[in-house]
Structure 1
């Protein structure tokens, strides 16, 4: 079983999708009811336990929204015509 309490689910790259998949695959019926391990560092939110279900829903919703934005942006670029995606990638790389 995956130790979902210690998994790093931050970020939204394709590499992170594998991390999310491993965590989801390792869930049991009891896992979402568990709590996370509070972190022992200063910052926000203050160290406390969060329901695993709430954390998973947050990550999955964020990934979904990122996908929607990417699909929207790609559709706009595709409408602009051939070469737009290449130019947009070059512009992004130069900044």
Structure 2
């Protein structure tokens, strides 16, 4: 039962990271569209949306929002990784000795 609880933590952490990434990418695309960025700018917004806070056209409010999303993204990743480690320890089956 405890292993299933940590499996839920893995799934929830991974799903939260994906949702946060999509929200940050949406905000970065909006920022790139306001600056009339090149196609490379839109590709960079999709690959690493948190880098958009360092552009010249980013307002202080947008940069603060992207910083908060970046912190939340890394917290979600850490929760998923920690839950994966506990889950693997709880479900570990040692090999059988043959002698």
Question: Could you say which TM-score interval applies, normalised by the shorter chain?
Answer: 0.3 to 0.5
Determine which structure has greater relative contact order: mean sequence separation of CA pairs < 8 Å that are 6+ residues apart, divided by chain length.
2
TM-score by length of 1: 0.38
**Greater percentage in helix:** 2
Task: Report the structure number with the largest CA radius of gyration.
Answer: 2
Normalising by structure 2, we get a TM-score of 0.36
